[in-house]
Amino acid sequence: MRVLLVEDDADLGSRIASALRLENFVVDIARDGEDALHAGLTELFDVAILDLGLPKIDGISVLKGWRESERNLPVLVLTARDGWPDKVASFKAGADDFLPKPFKVEELVLRLRALVRRAAGYASARLNCGPLVFDAQLGTFELDGLPLKLTALEWRVLSCLILRKETVVDRRELNERVYEGDAEVDSNSMEVIIARLRKKIGAERIETVRGRGYMLTAAVTS
């Protein structure tokens, strides 16, 4: 799950990013409204965390710019402004959730996961794909009722695939949602991750669609 974190307070932004990375989120940080507007319009994100008091362009204007350009990524407004007028302005501009500062990181993580799940079209927190179950609220996987141990990269790939189960996910999109922008990525790294996942959940459950990408499927051919 890839997050655009828009926060001009460098110390707070770094602390939030570190906490989210421990929960397997991929985090890109924008320090001002101008960079945030550009990033939200040109890159792929699963969710955005948006402060309102930003340099160059304020948060409400950034959000309006995304929505006017039909960018539908879920947006959680995170701000020290907790008054009713700011909440109304945020939701009118297209926000999906609002969390005032100070806040608990645990609550932020739960809200982000819920936004990503609902944006993918799932009402229930538990997603099934055959014997594979993903608890999108807790961020855990089970296979045949037993906990599935995954590395951070494996978790990111599998969560992306199960949120789009039975649908081909483009390889470029997978890379963008799994690696942070400044990461050095080998050309065959995705194939390595997919191979490891196949060993853990069954090779037949992740199909390679040549020239396009990968698909997680519940169907198993005998």
Extents of the domains making up the chain: 2-119, 126-216
Report the distance separating Cα 160 and Cα 215, nearest Å. 10
Could you read off the pLDDT of 84-122 as tens digits, one per residue? Answer: 888 999 999 999 999 998 899 999 999 999 999 999 999
Q: pLDDT averaged over the chain?
A: 92
The 3-state secondary structure of the chain reads: CEEEEECCCHHHHHHHHHHHHHCCCEEEEECCHHHHHHHHHHCCCCEEEECCCCCCCCHHHHHHHHHHCCCCCCEEEEECCCCHHHHHHHHHHCCCEEEECCCCHHHHHHHHHHHHHHHCCCCCCEEEECCEEEECCCCEEEECCEECCCCHHHHHHHHHHHHCCCCCEEHHHHHHHHCCCCCCCCCCHHHHHHHHHHHHHCHHHEEEECCCEEEECCCCCC
pLDDT at 126 (0 to 100): 94
Maximum mean pLDDT: which of 2-6, 120-124, 179-183: 2-6
Residues 54, 41 contacting (CB under 8 angstroms): no
The proportion of the chain whose per-residue pLDDT surpasses 90, expressed as a percent, equals 80
- Judge whether 20 and 4 are in contact, CB under 8 Å: no
- Closest of 84, 31, 79 to residue 55, by C-alpha: 31
Residue 180 has pLDDT above 60, yes or no: yes
Question: What would the two tokens of residue 32 be?
Answer: 């001002």
pLDDT of residue 175: 87
Q: Do domains 2-119 and 126-216 have the same CATH topology?
A: no
Residue 182 has pLDDT above 80, yes or no: no
pLDDT tens per residue across span 39-93: 999 999 999 999 999 999 999 999 999 999 999 999 999 988 767 888 999 999 9
Residue 169's pLDDT is: 94
- pLDDT exceeds 50 at position 222: no
CA distance linking residue 145 with residue 93, whole number of Å: 42
* 189 token code pair: 């790294």
pLDDT exceeds 80 at position 185: no
Pick the CATH number of 126-216 from 1.10.10.10, 3.30.540.10, 3.60.150.10, 2.60.40.10: 1.10.10.10
What integer is the mean pLDDT of 122-130?
93
Q: What is the pLDDT of residues 163-175, one digit of tens each?
A: 999 999 998 888 8
**Strand partners for 100:** 79
- Please tell me the predicted confidence (pLDDT) of residue 172: 87
Taking the alpha carbons of 133, 139, 145, 151 in that order, is the dihedral positive or negative? Answer: positive
Fold of the domain built from segment(s) 2-119: Rossmann fold (3.40.50)
More reliable by pLDDT, 183 or 191: 191
If pLDDT is split at 50, 70 and 90, which confidence band does 1 have? confident
- pLDDT of 41: 96
